[in-house]
Amino acid sequence: MVTLPIELLHNIASSCSIPTLASLSKCSRHFREVFLPLLYKLFFSLLYKHDLAGENLALERFASRCRNSADVSKVFESILEAGGDLGKEIDLARVALDFSIPTEFLIVDNDHKINAIHIAAYAGLTVIVEYLIKGRYVALGPFTYGPLHYALQGRHIETSKTLIQQGADLGDESTSALEVAASRGLTEIVVLLVDEKGMDPNEQGIGRNPLCCAVWSGGYGYKDDALATVTFLLERGANPDLPVYSMVMERGNWYESQLAQAFSMELFEIGLCLLRHGAHPENGNIRHHEAALHRLKRCLLPDDSGLIKFTMEFLGRLANKTMPRRPPNLGYKPFNPLEILLSQPSLEFRFVAHTLLRVGFQIPRRTITALRHLAYKSSWTKQDVEFIVICYPFMDLGHIEKRKLDCVVRIVENEIKGARLFSRDDSPVLEPEPGTVPQYDMSEIMQRWRNFLDMEFHKYVEGKRLRSGRLT
């Protein structure tokens, strides 16, 4: 295809209208490179003659929809030639849909102005960010809702590095670049901020710190990056026992340990890492921990979620007589893994929960309340019955009225006889029926349930070993 001379194309453009130039710029790559800057130069010249307010809308639309740095550079040059201002404030709400910008970033005020560099940073257009910084068209602070904040939120490592090296603000009273980078799983940026910029791994925000932000990132889908970031921060001296906001807010219990936080998000590898770097396992007098460890080891398979390994490390540290007692000033409720384990229907979770109950762990108060309420429900699932049969042998049942306790016993006994528990098939809803069962010895019933559970979980462990081909 013959390429027309630039001079000829410029002569053609000089006699074209804006719609014609727009059409020509779409004909070929060569035409785009020539006509697009001329189109915007003409467009902005007309804006300044007729409608200065329209400049904002034009800048917003172009900045949000163009992803090519070369095109953006040419258009920005055309804007400047036409007398435009690249630092002009942009209405973020009008460009948010093009960028999937988080809702919280749409809440801006007089202290947080958004312009072209914010959009370029969020899109990862590093060349454009450098162009705007070099021309001194924009400011690099404050941090919150600033260019670096946008680049980190967009998970753009090179753009973030550029802004950091060019002197962007690294934090303010609201948050910091280290916390945001950790929460987005940007290990490389976390390393840069700590090792080169000297940021403190233990800087304390309101109920959060860089380490807990790194743990959170695992829950946002960045598990591998989260583990790498957590490991790095711990190696640089981050304190794993600093209190952070609880994942489940309760009156009087606003904070929890980072170990509890990782466990509640089922980030067991991260929890294991925290334990191995000194996180306190909390108080607890456990008995027969060797038997529990042996039981867990039999279920330890390469494809496990990490729960078994975590629990073994956790039990080993609790049994360590040289481990100091839980410091009284930690400022958060003690970690009890049973709160999470008993709330999940997973067989692996229930196996581990039963193992901990057998070695003396106490059923959490919230779980006891749920179990008592369950006795008065009008219908149950099979998982409800499993929940009951696991916990009742370790509970004081004196707070449940005899009629309801009889009903519970009858339902559980029927399910045990029918071999319907722990099968994980689709189960119908069970409806407790009124009436009483024959006289029975509660201690004998509870012992029978313990024996039943031991057999069921033995079958579960052996089944896993057989399926994995591990016979020893």
Residue 85 within any structural domain of the chain: yes
pLDDT of residue 449: 93
The band of 103, judged by pLDDT with boundaries at 50, 70 and 90, is low
pLDDT of residue 135: 80
Report the C-alpha gap between 379 and 411 in whole angstroms: 11
| 151-178 pLDDT, tens digit each | 999 999 999 999 999 999 999 888 899 9
pLDDT of residue 50: 39
Q: Considering only CA atoms, which of 233, 136, 110, 131 is closest in space to residue 182?
A: 233
Instruction: Specify the range with the lowest mean pLDDT, choosing from 153-167, 356-370, 413-427.
Output: 413-427
Q: Which amino acid is at 178?
A: L
Q: Residue 15, class by beta-carbon neighbours within 10 Å (0-12 exposed, 13-18 middle, 19+ buried)?
A: exposed
- Domain range for residue 368? 363-468
The band of 234, judged by pLDDT with boundaries at 50, 70 and 90, is very high
Beta bridge partners of 253: 250
Among residues 116, 144, 173, the one where a domain terminates is 173
Q: Is 448 or 304 the better-scoring residue by pLDDT?
A: 448
Outline where 51-176 has alpha helix (H).
Answer: 54-65, 69-81, 92-99, 116-123, 126-134, 147-153, 157-165
pLDDT of residue 71: 64
Averaged over 81-105, what is the pLDDT?
62
Residue 456 within any structural domain of the chain: yes
Among residues 111, 143, 173, the one where a domain terminates is 173
Query: Is residue 145 within 8 Å of 120, Cβ to Cβ?
Result: no
Residue 411 within any structural domain of the chain: yes
Residue 294 within any structural domain of the chain: no
Packing angle of the helix pair 223-235, 210-219 (nearest 10 deg): 160
Total of domains in the chain: 2
- pLDDT for 397 beyond 90: no
Q: Is 97 or 289 the better-scoring residue by pLDDT?
A: 289
Residue 22 within any structural domain of the chain: no
Q: pTM of the prediction?
A: 0.78
- pLDDT for 224 beyond 60: yes
Alpha-carbon distance values, 208 to 101, 211, 235, 270, 307 (Å): 23, 8, 19, 17, 25
Report the C-alpha gap between 353 and 179 in whole angstroms: 34
pLDDT of residue 400: 85
Residue 403 within any structural domain of the chain: yes
Q: Is 178 or 249 the better-scoring residue by pLDDT?
A: 178
Q: Which residues contact 264 (CB under 8 A, 6 or more apart)?
A: 247, 248, 256, 339, 340
The band of 316, judged by pLDDT with boundaries at 50, 70 and 90, is confident
Rg of the Cα atoms in the chain: 31
Among residues 173, 191, 209, the one where a domain terminates is 173
154: CATH: 1.25.40.20
Residue % of the chain over a pLDDT of 90: 27
Residue 342 within any structural domain of the chain: no
Residue 451 within any structural domain of the chain: yes
pLDDT of residue 416: 85
